[in-house]
């Protein structure tokens, strides 16, 4: 009987505990959080006009921010917070909305030697804490990126609130101006920018899915890599090639075509186009659409010399050509010539891009060092100490085979 009574009492206690714990233990009012959607990193000089013009102005100056004792801070940080007024917060299930009028976000700027320092200065201007779990993008100005990538982003890699999937971009313009863009198809520029790389399946001119998590891996592995480069107008953000990061610092940039070639070499291209001269009529052009790509990079060791062998196999469709040339689509010799011309162009352009990067930047953004470590570890051990110098003189052999898969529906 005693055991039965004990069981009944325990059941009642558990039931009361469940009832008392019903609800959200970490409940916060929506409008009482500063949801940070994006962060921009500039040099202090780049934001001087913004601060002195009254946008985000505070009592102090650029030489000595209120949050630091240093004479000259190294960076300027801007956070984007969506404006969510109390009148806009609707009952559960009815959704929310952006603020009325033109101003959709509040962009706060602070200067400091670290983001953690700047974030504490933000706390003197916000009546609720900044909340970073919904971070979408990080935009870094080129001048700041030439100083370091790892230094101003260190806290973002350590902080558990920061999303490791937030996208990272480089811009030649002041980074805070990218966040100020008012897009036509999205509520906030940070979300618009976050989704911009989703077009990688349409074009290989967009660097494939580069986020802060991948940047962290590159930093800790001491690898060279690329980041997408963006430029802006008042209502539009455009990806324009990529920026080259060597040993944690920006060293230069590539145009859209060279960026596509890098993606082809790294086997990351998921879509795109290839335009060649029309066989038999070089004054006209024929456009091919990339459907499938497989690139293999293998080192060839011959004594003390190392050569990188790149084999590219691509399947394409005929996307566009002149109407009076349709009859050629059924001519096998014509298709063979198209495939040969496309293969030659791929080989030439990939080799040109590799040579340009070797001569101008000496940055192994093609991951040749990874291939050497994977397939010839003994050879890598011999050259790893001076790989940067060896990369600049590295021989590369590019071989491409383009296969026309579909010729289009013609009648």
* pLDDT tens readout for residues 393-404: 999 999 999 999
Same-domain check for residues 139 and 274: no
Helix (H) or strand (E) holding 306: strand 305-320
Q: What is the pLDDT of residue 408?
A: 64
Q: Residue 241: CB partners within 8 Å, gap ≥ 6?
A: 205, 229, 253, 254, 255, 256, 258, 259
> Would you state the pLDDT for residue 70?
53
Mean pLDDT lowest among 40-49, 53-62, 97-106? 53-62
Provide the domain limits for residue 119: 30-254
Residue 294 and residue 368 share a domain: yes
Find where tokens 């050259």 sit: 383
Q: Which three-class secondary structure state does DSSP give residue 358? A: helix
Domain boundary residue among 254, 279, 305? 254
109-128: pLDDT as tens digits: 999 888 888 888 888 888 88
Same domain, 291 and 352: yes
CA atoms of 312 and 289, how far apart (whole Å): 16
Dihedral angle, C-alpha 172, 178, 184, 187, nearest 10 °: 150
**Rounded CA gap, 55 and 58, in Å?**
9
Residue 32's pLDDT band (boundaries 50, 70, 90)? Answer: low
Q: What is the pLDDT of residue 85?
A: 62
Task: Name which residue leads in pLDDT, 96 or 293.
Answer: 293
Q: Where are the alpha helices (DSSP H) in 361-386?
A: 368-375, 377-383
Q: Tell me if 11 is assigned to some domain.
A: no
Q: Which of 284, 286, 264 is nearest to 203 (CA)?
A: 264
Query: Does 97 lie in the same domain as 221?
Result: yes
**How many independent structural domains does the chain possess?**
2
Average pLDDT, integer, range 203-228: 89
- Per-residue pLDDT for 331 more than 80? no
Are 248 and 269 in a shared domain?
no
Q: Decide if 18 is inside a domain.
A: no
Q: Which pLDDT score is estimated for 409? A: 56
411 located within any domain: no
What is residue 310's predicted lDDT score, i.e. its pLDDT? 98
Residue 334 maps to which CATH number?
3.30.300.210
Per-residue confidence (pLDDT) for residue 38, from 0 to 100: 94
The answer to whether residue 112 is domain-embedded is yes
Query: Cα separation of 201 and 25, whole Å?
Result: 42
Q: What percent of the chain is helix, strand and coil (3-state, nearest 5)?
A: 40, 30, 35
Query: Does residue 17 sit within a domain?
Result: no
Mean pLDDT of 21-49: 75
Least confident of 99-103, 266-270, 310-314: 99-103
Least confident span in 239-248, 279-288, 293-302: 279-288
Query: Do 132 and 267 fall within a single domain?
Result: no
Does residue 23 sit within a domain? Answer: no
The predicted pLDDT at position 93 comes to 40
Are both 225 and 271 inside the same structural domain? no
**Cα 110 from Cα 116, distance rounded (Å):** 11
Q: Are residues 353 and 234 in the same domain?
A: no
Q: Based on the domain organization, do 341 and 198 belong to the same domain? A: no
237, 254, 271 - which closes a domain: 254
CA distance 135 to 164: 9
Q: How many percent of the chain have pLDDT more than 90? A: 49
Do 270 and 317 share a structural domain? yes
d(CA 152, CA 175): 14
Mean pLDDT estimate for the chain = 83
217 and 124 in a common domain: yes
Q: Are residues 306 and 224 in the same domain?
A: no
In what side-by-side order are the strands of the sheet with 395-406?
273-278, 281-302, 305-320, 395-406
In a domain, 202, yes or no: yes
Instruction: Work out the average pLDDT over 92-112.
Output: 65
Which among 254, 281, 308 is the end of a domain? 254
CB contact at 8 A, 229 and 207: no
Return the higher-pLDDT residue of 219 and 200.
219
pLDDT of residue 206: 84
| pLDDT confidence band for 203 (50 / 70 / 90) | confident
Tell me if 25 is assigned to some domain. no
pLDDT digits (tens, 9 = 90+) for 361-378: 999 999 999 999 999 999
């Amino acid at each position: 009987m005693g055991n039965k009574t004990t069981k009944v009492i325990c059941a009642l206690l558990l039931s009361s505990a469940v009832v008392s714990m019903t609800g959200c233990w970490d409940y916060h009012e929506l409008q009482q959080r500063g949801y940070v959607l994006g962060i921009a990193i500039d040099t202090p000089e780049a934001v001087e006009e913004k601060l002195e013009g009254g946008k985000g102005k505070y009592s102090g100056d650029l030489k000595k921010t209120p949050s630091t004792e240093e004479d000259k801070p190294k960076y300027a940080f801007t956070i984007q917070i969506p404006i969510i007024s109390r009148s806009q917060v609707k009952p559960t299930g009815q959704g929310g909305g952006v603020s009325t009028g033109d101003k959709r976000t509040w962009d706060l700027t602070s200067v400091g030697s670290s983001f953690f320092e700047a974030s504490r200065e933000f706390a003197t201007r916000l009546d609720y804490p900044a909340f970073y779990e919904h971070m979408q993008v990080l935009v870094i100005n080129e001048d700041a990126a030439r100083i370091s990538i790892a230094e101003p982003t260190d806290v973002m890699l350590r902080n558990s609130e920061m999303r490791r999937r937030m996208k990272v971009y480089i811009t030649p313009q002041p980074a805070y101006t990218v966040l100020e863009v008012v897009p036509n198809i999205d509520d906030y520029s940070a979300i618009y920018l976050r989704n911009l790389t989703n077009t990688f399946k349409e074009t290989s001119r967009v660097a494939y899915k580069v986020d802060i998590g991948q940047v962290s891996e590159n930093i800790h592995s001491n690898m060279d890599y690329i980041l997408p480069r963006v430029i802006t107008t008042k209502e539009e953000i455009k990806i324009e090639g990529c920026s080259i990061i060597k040993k944690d610092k920006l060293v230069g940039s590539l145009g859209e075509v060279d960026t596509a070639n890098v993606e082809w070499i790294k086997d990351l291209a998921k879509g795109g186009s290839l335009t060649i001269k029309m066989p038999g009529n070089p004054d006209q052009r024929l456009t091919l659409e990339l459907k499938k790509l497989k690139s293999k990079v293998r080192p060839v060791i011959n004594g003390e010399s190392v050569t990188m062998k790149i084999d590219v196999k691509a399947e394409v469709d005929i996307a566009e050509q002149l109407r009076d040339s349709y009859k050629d689509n059924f001519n096998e010799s014509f298709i063979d010539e198209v495939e040969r011309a496309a293969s030659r162009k791929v080989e030439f352009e990939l080799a040109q891009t590799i040579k340009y990067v070797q001569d101008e930047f000496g940055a192994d953004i093609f991951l040749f060092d990874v291939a050497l470590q994977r397939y010839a570890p003994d050879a890598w051990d011999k050259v790893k100490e001076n790989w940067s110098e060896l990369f600049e003189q590295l021989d590369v052999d590019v071989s491409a085979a383009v296969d026309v898969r579909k010729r289009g529906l013609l009648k």
